[in-house]
Structure 1
Amino acid sequence: MFKNITNITPGIVLALVFCLFSQGINNVIAIELFNTTKSPISTAMIAILLGIVMGNAFTPRPGMMLGLDFTQKYILKLGIIFLGIRLSFGEFIKFGTIAIPLIIVCILSVLILVKLLIKKVPISSRMSYLIAIGTSVCGATAIVATAPVINAKKTEVAYAIANITLFGVIAMLVYPYFAEWYFYGEPLKAGLFLGTAIHETSQVAAAGLIYDQQFNSPETLNVATVTKLIRNTFLVIMIPLFAFLYNRGNVKDKGYSILSIFPYFVIGFIGMIVVRNIGDQVFTVENSNFETWKNFIGYLKSLATVFLTMAMAAVGISININELKSMGYKPFVVGLITAITVGIVSIITLEIFFKTFLY
């Protein structure tokens, strides 16, 4: 136990240092260069870019990568769980009700598109399945969970993950500013777009955080997070479906288990919403402990931001540009088209949905 903690500590500390250094750079850019209270580049984006530069300029030691991997997997999820303290039940139900039909349309669109694309750009059916589920559901997690049930090769898994990483990072850095411009600062639309159009949970969290930090819109971060977490739960449906489609006629057990792929941090996120709402009922304005409760909420909000920024730094350090270069153009073409398509479908569906049902 103690040995494991010792092994992961250096990488976690490095991610925290990058987080603090990124905040320092953000302050310098804002105060010294622009003479404003807010930098045009968010802390989360600085952490990602700084991580990419440093991770490719200097090869992280294997021992350091243990802590960075832990930060990406667990500290990220803890940060997302803490985001639940920002929401009420009403907001969660409202955002979720709107998000589900958008998610379904985006998933179906990507599946149909990939099916058509592989006729024009020949790649293996396994690769097409991996890119499809990675783009439509939840990035690398979906790819790794799907690979065993369709007998994907290690090289196909690596290519698909590199593909998703490349286009997801681009979307993560570009889409917050695009969403502000296209949706005229409407937080609900911007959050739904970020939650449905970007691949990875970490990338959506980063994009939402960038949007919040740059345009002072915590609602957008909340909506994007809820949308992405609901989207993640579709793994429970999509992986058995892919297993059936790929292994039709083969009754052999592929070792699939819903329990092994269910994103449990979604439950933690909902649990934090429960804590917030119970606390608000107990600690009313008239209660002597109300200020303590408000400070506790503020502390968890700040901690969520720190954890997410640490995770973004770890993600940046872990991105190997040389590996992305070796991906090959055919999967690249499929990944590019599907990434663009899911963004376009998200926008079109949003416009139709809001004009039809909410206006």
Structure 2
Amino acid sequence: MANNIKFIPFLLALAYCLTPYASSPSALLIGFLLSVTQQVPARIPVAAITKKLLSYSIIGLGFGVPLQQALTVTTDSIGLILISITGTLILGYFMSQWLKLESRTGYLISAGTAICGGSAIAAVAPAINAKDDQMGLALATVFILNSVALFVFPVIGHALGMSQLEFGTWAAVAIHDTSSVVGAASAYGEQALTTATTLKLTRALWIIPVALISAVLFRSHGKKWVLPYFIAFYALAIIVSDQWPQFSTLYQSIFSVSKRALIICLFLIGCGISVEKMRGAGVKPLVLGVGLWVSVSLSSLAWIMLS
């Protein structure tokens, strides 16, 4: 009876995550609170479910990436995109070494900062066999900085007199998650929103090469490297939606369901976070996240304003 009672708060929280009211940060937080209060039923294989659902979610998100539009924007901003992604990953590696932060946690924070926040972390994590608590630390760090960026960026943009195009580009490069990019850019103006959304979706294409390279870098010694299947299907989803646009309604439905499934994944990740390991990590993940975020923000701002 006591074990069955534990299912009630878990199921209620899960039901909430299925509603439009649940966001990525709130889902992660609720899952973490259930873990802390020991309200996660032991009989539920949270880690196994999360791993599979995460892969399916990433595949579904591929149906929401406009290939031709993304390739056009990539061509126009290829220099800034390449420098920001590679520079962030390299800087993240050296900062993680300096901070003595666990390598996978540091890499996930770097990947989330370099590409598109929670989606990039969710895609890279299974490719490098990251654990739930490593993923949880990286996601929590990114979500905290997203909340700050949502309010701070428009203020800075207006103070510097940035144009709509300049601000939209800056927001897409320097703010982690697409949702926060959309929020900050919409507060700045319609053209900024269009520019930021298109460029941010473009960066989602870079999940593919980064995840593949990550899988090679973190492969277990002595084991043959195998292409992560979900990355191959993610790329296939992008191609299919581009080649057969007449089914756009179906693609958008899959994309919407996948976004909701990703929120469920974040809830489950929160349920699996180890409090002991979070205490052991201390403030190091946040220091890394802030350091990378400030570096990307200032360097991309300088690039945009001087070009």
Q: TM-score range by the shorter chain?
A: 0.5 to 0.7
Distance 2:168 2:251 in 1: 22
Amino acid at match of 2:145: A
Distance 1:272 1:95 in 2: 25
Q: Cα deviations across residues 71-129 of structure 1 (Å, max 9, x unaligned)?
A: 43313430x212124862423433555311111111121122223333xxxx6xxx2x3
Structure 1 counterpart SS, 2:200: helix
Distance 1:351 1:327 in 2: 33
* Structure 1 unmatched runs, 5+: 1-10, 23-42, 148-155, 199-203, 248-252, 280-292
Following superposition, the deviation at residue 158 of structure 1 comes to 5.7
Structure 2 counterpart SS, 1:263: helix
Distance 1:46 1:162 in 2: 11
Alignment match, 1:19: 18
Alpha-carbon contact 2:133-2:269 (below 8 Å) kept: no
Structure 2 counterpart SS, 1:20: coil
1:343 aligns with 2:285: no
Q: How does 1:66-105 map to 2 (within 5 A)?
A: 70-78=52-60, 80-85=61-66, 88=69, 89-105=71-87
Q: How does 1:1-359 map to 2 (within 5 A)?
A: 18-20=17-19, 22=21, 44=23, 48=27, 51-52=30-31, 55=34, 58-59=39-40, 62-63=43-44, 65=46, 70-78=52-60, 80-85=61-66, 88=69, 89-118=71-100, 127=102, 129-137=103-111, 138-139=120-121, 142=124, 145-146=127-128, 157=131, 160-183=134-157, 186-194=167-175, 198=176, 204-208=177-181, 217=193, 219-231=195-207, 233-238=209-214, 240=216, 254-257=222-225, 259-260=227-228, 263-268=231-236, 270-272=238-240, 274-275=242-243, 279=245, 293=246, 297=248, 300-301=251-252, 303-320=254-271, 323-324=274-275, 326-329=277-280, 331-356=281-306, 359=307
Alpha-carbon contact 2:67-2:239 (below 8 Å) kept: no
Amino acid at match of 1:130: R
Q: TM-score, normalization: structure 2?
A: 0.67
Following superposition, the deviation at residue 181 of structure 1 comes to 3.9
Residues 205 and 98 of structure 1: is their aligned pair in 2 closer, same or farther, counting only changes over 3 Å? same
Amino acid at match of 1:48: A
Alignment match, 1:152: none
Give the aligned length.
Answer: 276
Alpha-carbon contact 2:212-2:228 (below 8 Å) kept: no
Residues 113 and 165 of structure 1: is their aligned pair in 2 closer, same or farther, counting only changes over 3 Å? same
Alpha-carbon contact 1:18-1:310 (below 8 Å) kept: no
Structure 2 counterpart SS, 1:254: coil
Question: Aligned-residue CA RMSD in angstroms?
Answer: 4.3
Following superposition, the deviation at residue 312 of structure 1 comes to 1.5
Amino acid at match of 1:112: F
Following superposition, the deviation at residue 171 of structure 1 comes to 3.1
Distance 1:308 1:214 in 2: 23
Q: TM-score, normalization: structure 1?
A: 0.59
Larger radius of gyration: 1
Following superposition, the deviation at residue 320 of structure 1 comes to 3.3
Distance 1:86 1:168 in 2: 26
Distance 1:106 1:130 in 2: 15
Percent pairwise identity = 10
